[in-house]
């Protein structure tokens, strides 16, 4: 199968192989490196590879990472399925790692989110506002909260790590807590991080900033992390328990 990526104007070829009873989707694109990922909720395995890499090379890579893949599949299988959000009063929502009870209040005027007594999350919406719009209002509030703290965190860590972040952005991502474009010194963070403890947000930021020094998750990368943030593994373990796929 061949797909066309309109954004990048490049052909993408997809195929399927089976490795030790595991279905593996192969996606060939114009990239330089191989990326193996295990996706929630069912542990789907996807390998993105450069166009010239053949199936045998992919099969060898999957076999080499087989134990890691199976561990990720078991971990994902043990994560409870998320409850569909109805965005009604009484639901539990998280902010900076703490639970808040949602209270939906209908009124005239602009939509607004307010924290009350460190226990309630008040969602003010106009009468008749649909579920999707209510969720959009809440997500936009999360976005503004993370935007309010990131500049200060980046300013804090730039001289420590010795790098310069030229651009940053927030977006919802299904498989990553963060990502980094080394060439443009651009960092993206997952919007969901605002629901986690601040230490997790700071860890992911530092993780992506360290990629400006070291592209790969190798010994050098871990040495940098140990130097700049000695307790980074604690936050990494917290995020590993969340239903997002992990990159190898």
Mean pLDDT for 195-211 is 96
> Where is the domain boundary, 42, 77, 112?
77
pLDDT score recorded for residue 248: 39
- 85-134 pLDDT, tens digit per residue, is 899 999 999 999 889 999 999 999 999 999 998 889 999 999 999 999 99
Please tell me whether residues 60 and 36 are part of one structural domain: yes
Alpha-carbon torsion, ordered 160, 163, 169, 175, to 10 deg? -80
Note whether 116 and 51 are same-domain residues: no
Paired residues of 24 in beta bridges? 17, 45
- Which H helix or E strand runs over 31? none
CA distance linking residue 207 with residue 182, whole number of Å: 13
Comparing 80 with 27, which gets the higher pLDDT?
A: 27
| Most confident listed range (44-58, 84-98, 157-171) | 157-171
Above 90 in pLDDT, residue 138? Answer: yes
Percent of the chain, pLDDT > 90? 70
Q: What is the bridge-based pairing of β-strands 22-29 and 44-50?
A: parallel
Query: In terms of domains, do 70 and 145 share one?
Result: no
Report the mean per-residue pLDDT for the chain: 89
Is 120 in the same domain as 190? yes
CATH of the domain at 111: 3.30.2010.10
Do residues 112 and 228 share a domain? yes
Q: Do the Cβ atoms of 82 and 243 come closer than 8 Å?
A: yes
In this predicted structure, what is the pLDDT of residue 118? 84
Q: Are both 223 and 123 inside the same structural domain?
A: yes
Q: Do 118 and 204 fall into the same domain? A: yes
Q: Which of 1-5, 19-23, 179-183 has the lowest mean pLDDT?
A: 1-5
27-45 mean pLDDT? 84
**Residue 82 — pLDDT band, cuts 50, 70, 90?**
low
Domain that holds residue 232: 92-240
Residue labelled with tokens 């999350």: 121
Q: What pLDDT score does 13 carry?
A: 80
Task: Please indicate, yes or no, if residue 32 is contained in any of the structural domains.
Answer: yes
Which range, of 109-113, 207-211, 224-228, 244-248, averages the lowest pLDDT?
A: 244-248
The model's confidence at residue 37, banded by pLDDT at 50, 70 and 90, is confident
Domain total in the chain: 2
The yes-or-no verdict on residue 159 having pLDDT over 50 is yes
**Band (204; pLDDT cuts 50, 70, 90):** very high
Please report the pLDDT score of residue 80 as a whole number: 67
Do 105 and 188 belong together in one domain?
yes
Q: Does 174 share its domain with 207?
A: yes
- Residue 74 pLDDT > 80: yes
In a domain, 247, yes or no: no
- When pLDDT is averaged across residues 28-52 and rounded to a whole number, the result is 86
- Note whether 13 and 48 are same-domain residues: yes
Whether the CB-CB separation of 183 and 144 falls below 8 Å is answered with no
- What is the model's pLDDT at position 238? 86
CA 225/CA 33 separation, integer angstroms:
23
pLDDT at 11 > cutoff 60: no
Q: Which two tokens stand for residue 47?
A: 């390998």
Q: 104 with 134: CB under 8 angstroms?
A: yes
More confident residue, 77 or 159: 159
């Amino acid at each position: 199968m061949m797909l066309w990526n309109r954004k990048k104007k490049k052909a993408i070829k997809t195929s399927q192989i089976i490795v030790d009873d595991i279905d593996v989707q192969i996606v060939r694109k114009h990239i330089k490196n191989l990326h193996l990922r295990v996706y929630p909720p069912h542990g789907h395995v996807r390998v993105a590879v450069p166009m010239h890499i053949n199936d045998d090379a992919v099969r060898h890579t999957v076999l080499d990472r087989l134990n890691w893949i199976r561990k990720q599949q078991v971990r994902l299988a043990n994560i409870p399925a998320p409850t569909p959000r109805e965005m009604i009063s009484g639901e539990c929502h998280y902010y900076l790692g703490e639970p808040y009870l949602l209270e939906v209040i209908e009124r005239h005027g602009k939509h607004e989110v307010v924290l009350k007594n460190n226990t309630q999350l008040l969602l003010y919406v106009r009468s008749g506002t649909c579920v999707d719009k209510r969720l959009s209002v809440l997500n936009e509030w999360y976005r503004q909260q993370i935007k309010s703290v990131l500049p200060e965190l980046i300013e804090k860590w730039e001289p420590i790590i010795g790098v310069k972040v030229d651009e940053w952005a927030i977006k919802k991502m299904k498989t990553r807590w963060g990502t980094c474009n080394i060439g443009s010194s651009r960092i993206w963070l997952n919007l969901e991080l605002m629901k986690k403890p601040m230490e997790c947000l700071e860890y992911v930021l530092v993780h992506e900033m360290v990629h400006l020094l070291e592209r790969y998750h190798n010994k050098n990368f871990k040495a940098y992390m140990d130097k700049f943030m000695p307790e980074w593994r604690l936050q990494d373990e917290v995020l590993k328990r969340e239903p997002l796929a992990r990159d190898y």
